[in-house]
Amino acid sequence: MIYTEFAKFYDDLFDATLYDRWAHFVVNKTKGIQKPPSEIKILDLACGTGRLAIKLAQKGFQVTGADLSEDMLTIAEQRAREASVDVPFIQTDMRNLDGLDQYDLICCFDDSLNYLIDQNDLETTFKAVYDHLNSDGQFLFDVISPYQATEVYPGYMYNYRSEDAAFMWTSYEGDFAPMAVEHELNFFQYNEEKDAYDAYNEIHRERAYDDTVIKDLLSQTGFLVTLASTDFGDNPFVRETKRWFFSTGKD
């Protein structure tokens, strides 16, 4: 959730086709909202560099993006200008959305909620989202599963190299929370002035939550029926899969 130098590499490293699938998931859910797209207000929470927010704006929705990282939002604003779309981007902590508007739909993808290590923070975020949804509003999000955190990620390695940059990602089992994982990210960017590489290092920590915990917290917050699925909402819920998708609402 907290990115510094990583923001400069993010767009090049991330699989851009995933944003099309997230957008498809959101658009399908908006079909239940009795408004034309131009009147549907969406908050893309933990929006990163704004790719999804911009895609949704291009489909005619009123979209706002919010993220904690100033670096990510700088890229998002530049991307919105290049796309000629009007998307306001706001720097905020997802646990406190004071000052933001009310929305018909709030989404939070790319396992951003897994960065909330303390379960109380997850509950606080659910409450903040609930308070900023209209009476019939929807909340859509995804999380990595316990299977992903405990079976897939530990020992995972990914390396990327281009002419002027390199990236190494290594994941380890975390001991700071249940079902936790720690990602060590190392970046090397060529500096022409020094004729050498600048090196950066970041540690990202995530934890998984059982689906029953997620559903209980949502219910305690006031959300009604919660639907869990996999594969961007296209397939039924399977516990032993990498990523879960949730959709819930107020009424």
**What single string gives the DSSP state of each residue in 167-216?**
EEEEEEEESSSTTEEEEEEEEEEEETTTTEEEEEEEEEEEE---HHHHHH
Using the predicted structure, report yes or no on whether residue 39 has a pLDDT greater than 90.
Answer: yes
pLDDT of residue 6: 62
Average pLDDT taken over every residue of the chain: 93
Where is mean pLDDT largest: 9-23, 144-158, 191-205? 144-158
Using the predicted structure, report yes or no on whether residue 180 has a pLDDT greater than 90.
Answer: yes
Q: Position of tokens 């975020």?
A: 125
* Ranges for all domains in the chain classified under CATH 3.40.50.150: 2-145+210-250
Q: Which CATH class is domain 2-145+210-250?
A: alpha beta
Using the predicted structure, report yes or no on whether residue 64 has a pLDDT greater than 60.
Answer: yes
Q: Tell me: domain 148-207, CATH 2.20.25.110, correct? A: yes
pLDDT of residue 16: 83
CA 188, chain centre distance (Å): 25
Total Cβ atoms within 10 A of residue 205: 16
Share of the chain above pLDDT 70, in %: 95
Model confidence at 178, in pLDDT bands (50, 70, 90)? very high
Q: Which of 2-16, 58-72, 147-161, 229-243 has the lowest mean pLDDT?
A: 2-16
* Ranges for all domains in the chain classified under CATH 2.20.25.110: 148-207
pLDDT of residue 13: 72
Q: How large is the average pLDDT for residues 213-229?
A: 95
Using the predicted structure, report yes or no on whether residue 3 has a pLDDT greater than 60.
Answer: no
pLDDT of residue 68: 94
Convert the pLDDT of each residue in 113-145 to its tens digit. Answer: 999 999 999 999 999 999 999 999 999 999 999
| C-beta of residue 118 within 8 angstroms of C-beta of residue 84 | no
Helix (H, G, I), strand (E, B) or coil at 63: strand
Model confidence at 2, in pLDDT bands (50, 70, 90)? very low
Using the predicted structure, report yes or no on whether residue 1 has a pLDDT greater than 50.
Answer: no
Share of the chain above pLDDT 90, in %: 81
Distance CA 242, CA 53 (A): 24
